Amino acid sequence: MRMNKVFFSGRLCRDPDSRRTGGGDSVVNVTLAQDTKRKGAGGEWVDGDPIFLDVIVWGARGEAFAKFHKKGDMAVVEGRLRLDQWEDKATGTKRSKLRVDCSDWHFANSVARVDPEMPPSREDGTPF
């Protein structure tokens, strides 16, 4: 059985980079960073090395991601791992990068950014 499924949460390292391919498809690139913790020699929790993960979000999902996220926001992405390989034009060396090809994403901020003009509402959406 083969399975390639990834769930990853992290903060955006920069604003989403939106562009169009030569065929007109929308693509959004983003890098997420996740802090790590580990137990130190004395048993206390200390900061570990952060994990950085490049994510590609295609089409309307990518456009929505770019619309609602900015640098520093927390997000959860779901997708599959993808290994991109290429030859560096300047040096001729082979290069590679592991990315997530995002199939879905979710808000992860404790408070979603909303229109400040919108009146507050209850959980069911009805106004107070």
Q: CB of 31 within 8 A of CB of 104? A: no
Q: What's the pLDDT score for residue 43? A: 87
Q: What's the pLDDT score for residue 117? A: 52
The answer as to whether 128 is a domain residue is: no
The answer as to whether 115 is a domain residue is: no
The answer as to whether 127 is a domain residue is: no
The answer as to whether 69 is a domain residue is: yes
pTM above 0.85? no
The answer as to whether 124 is a domain residue is: no
The answer as to whether 32 is a domain residue is: yes
Count of structural domains within the chain: 1
The answer as to whether 116 is a domain residue is: no
Residue 16: CATH number of its domain = 2.40.50.140
Q: Would you write out the chain's pLDDT as a tens digit for each of its 128 residues? A: 889 999 999 999 999 999 999 898 999 999 999 988 888 888 888 888 899 999 999 999 999 999 999 999 999 999 999 999 999 999 999 999 999 999 999 988 754 445 555 555 455 554 44
The answer as to whether 126 is a domain residue is: no
For residue 99, give its domain range.
6-36+48-107
Q: What's the pLDDT score for residue 38? A: 83
